[in-house]
Homo-oligomer: A and B are copies of this chain.
Amino acid sequence: MSGIKRVVLAYSGGLDTSVILKWLQVTYNCEVVTFTADLGQGEELEPARDKARLMGIPEEHIYIDDLREEFVRDFVFPMMRANARYEGDYLLGTSIARPLISKRLIEIARETNADAIAHGATGKGNDQVRFELSAYALDPDIKVIAPWREWDLNSRTALIAWAEKHQIPVPKDKRGESPFSTDANLLHTSSEGKVLEDPWEETPDYVYSRTVNPEDAPDEPEYITIDFEKGDGIALNGKAMSPAMLLTALNDLGRTHGIGRLDLVENRFVGMKSRGMYETPGGEIYARAHRGIEQITLDRGAAHLKDELMPRYAELIYNGFWFAPEREMLQAAIDHSQERVSGTVRLKLYKGSAHVVGRKSPNSLYSERHVTFEDDAGAYDQKDAQGFIKLNALRLRLLAQRDR
């Protein structure tokens, strides 16, 4: 079948990808290399190793990598430099992880001389697109196997029956229909499906796993500072941290204060709307802090250009075009703007909200001397405003003269 000899599988160790692992062996009669990434999803990875062994995968074909620092440094932070939010709100937590996974899948395929990769994303979602566009961009000849688009196991019952038939252990809590589907990494946890499918119904509190309910958060606000250097966070409350350490620490703060919950109906790249629940505790705090430091260090021209480019940039990431030239072009523009985005932001965390309450920087463009209502010692000549207005108005006056 297609002559595939060896395939690298994005393997979580859970039921679904275990079924896929077996299905690949049975259907393609090929060797499977498993790749399990630690992206900060908060699960033990060693059980995945054991399960892979049980399925007959030789030790050298079991890859378990801690990608947390690379994830935050090379994917999350560059995206945050753009203040990216999809459709006004979504911080792209799932979208931004996919290209990194594909990158490792392709690297491992090369190391192991595999001729294909496989993933467990369904045929209805965005993730299949993100995985595959990234994979093709990095290796144009790679073959991609997406079992959910191929097999006929299109209900949970069928999947479990197949698992049992093939001696794959099915955990008790997977036997019933799971109430929703989740994805998690250091940036966020998302949930969709099942109880969330009616967009009029409020998301039940038990769907949230990364944040306390704001109503249960502390009654006292907490103040923190984040330091930035060239557009990236480098310290929390004055303590230097690596990218992944910083995001982890912010996640803890966000959890405590119930920050970063989002209930969204969004537009998928494949053409349908879906309703999702996102928790991005640290990311929400970080995103607000980044805007805060930009407020005083970024020129208006740069800031407004960034704002205009952002929706396109976010759409590219959402749609899976991280490795496309136009995303890289936008990144080049964005990164160029961040050279002097350094300084400290102070935030107030309280019952679901993170607000910037102060910002300072050695690179500040804010000039108290210019803005003051008091005597400015000649910093600004108010009479200049007249000419400024007159010439900005000229075309409007010519229009009005014509049109009266």
Chain A residues proximal to chain B, CB less than 8 Å: 83, 87-89, 122-124, 128-129, 132-133, 136-141, 146, 148-149, 154-155, 181, 193-194, 197-203, 214-215, 219, 221, 261, 263-267, 270-275, 291, 295-296, 299-308, 310-312, 315, 320-321, 323-326, 328-330, 332-337, 340, 346, 348, 350-353, 355-360, 363-368, 370-375, 380-404
Contacts and interface: CB of A to CB of B under 8 A. Distances in A.
A311 B300 contact: no
Nearest to A356: B263
B330 A382 contact: no
Given A325-B301, A400-B138, A392 B87 contact: no
A367 B87 contact: no
Contacts of A310: 311
A367 B272 contact: yes
A273 B122 CA distance: 31
A83 B87 CA distance: 11
A277 to B, nearest CB: 11
Given A137-B396, A199-B366, A203-B357, A389 B132 contact: yes
A180 B70 CA distance: 47
A368 to B, nearest CB: 5
A327 to B, nearest CB: 8
A394 B355 CA distance: 29
A346 to B, nearest CB: 7
Given A359-B199, A402-B363, A396 B305 contact: no
| Copies per assembly | 4
A198 B366 CA distance: 9
B198 A137 contact: no
6 contacts: A89-B291, A123-B385, A124-B370, A272-B394, A307-B311, A363-B402
Contacts of A402: 340, 363-365
A384 B391 contact: yes
Q: What 5 A-B pairs come out closest when comparing CB atoms?
A: A387-B387, A123-B382, A271-B394, A384-B387, A267-B300
Contacts of A132: 389, 393
B330 A128 contact: no
Given A274-B371, A384-B386, 9 more contacts: A155-B375, A199-B364, A265-B295, A272-B371, A310-B311, A329-B337, A351-B352, A380-B394, A384-B387
Contact of A214 (B337, B351, B383): B351
A313 to B, nearest CB: 10
Name the residue among A304, A315, A330 with the largest chain B CB count within 10 angstroms: A304
A270 B390 CA distance: 9
A373 B195 CA distance: 11
Contact of A272 (B154, B324, B363, B380): B380
B396 A146 contact: no
Contacts of A394: 270-272, 370, 380
Contacts of A138: 400
A98 B383 CA distance: 21
